[in-house]
């Protein structure tokens, strides 16, 4: 009977798939990113990873540099918000959506000044909450990454909420 039980349990353990993916603690889960002219800043769900800023303007090179800085692979699929400063917004958003594979619900917003400073001064959870409240009250445009990128690709005027260290700005 024990042999039969072992024969049934052994394949179940092998087929769970858990061993091939690794431990969740071996990855850093990105919550927010800020892309400015000369740097990219990463903020993670686990505050132990801290905030990492790499002096690279290209998100393709910045992510591997940040992974080296924290010693973990960065998982970007749960990213909630991306702040866009002085950068080619269309190219950055295309890269983030295609290569980083962020969620389609990830917010894309404009940053007034350095996004790094905004992310260090304000909790990303609070920033997303501010934007969601403003959208519910029709004070901010829809800003999921798909909508913003579609507007850019269609040549429509940029409509993104503008964030500063003080929160949502009403005008540029």
pLDDT in tens, 116-150: 999 999 999 999 999 999 999 999 999 999 999 99
Please state, in angstroms and rounded to a whole number, the distance separating the CA atoms of residues 116 and 23: 29
Q: Average per-residue pLDDT in the chain?
A: 87
User: Which pLDDT does position 167 carry in this prediction?
Assistant: 87
144 dihedral zone (left: phi>0; alpha: psi -120 to 50; beta):
beta
Domain ranges of the chain: 27-167
Q: In this structure, are residues 49 and 72 in contact, taking their beta carbons and an 8 Å threshold?
A: yes
Q: In this structure, are residues 41 and 115 in contact, taking their beta carbons and an 8 Å threshold?
A: yes
E strands, the chain, where?
Answer: 27-35, 40-44, 51-54, 73-75, 81-84, 107-111, 162-164, 167-169
């Amino acid at each position: 009977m024990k042999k039969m039980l072992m024969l049934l349990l052994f394949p179940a353990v092998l087929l769970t798939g858990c061993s091939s993916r690794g431990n969740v603690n071996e990855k850093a889960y990105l919550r927010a990113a800020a892309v400015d002219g000369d740097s990219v800043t990463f903020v993670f769900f686990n505050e132990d990873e801290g905030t990492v800023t790499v002096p690279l303007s290209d998100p393709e090179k910045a992510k591997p540099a940040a992974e080296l800085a924290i010693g973990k692979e960065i998982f970007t699929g749960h990213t909630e918000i991306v702040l866009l400063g002085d950068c080619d917004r269309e190219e950055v958003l295309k890269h983030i959506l295609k290569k980083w594979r962020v969620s389609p619900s990830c917010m894309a917003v404009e940053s007034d000044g350095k996004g790094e400073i905004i992310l260090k001064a304000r909790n990303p959870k609070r920033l997303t909450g501010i934007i969601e409240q403003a959208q519910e009250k029709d004070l901010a445009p829809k800003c999921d990454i798909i909508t913003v990128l579609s507007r850019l690709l269609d040549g429509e005027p940029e409509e993104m909420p503008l964030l500063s260290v003080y929160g949502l700005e009403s005008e540029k």
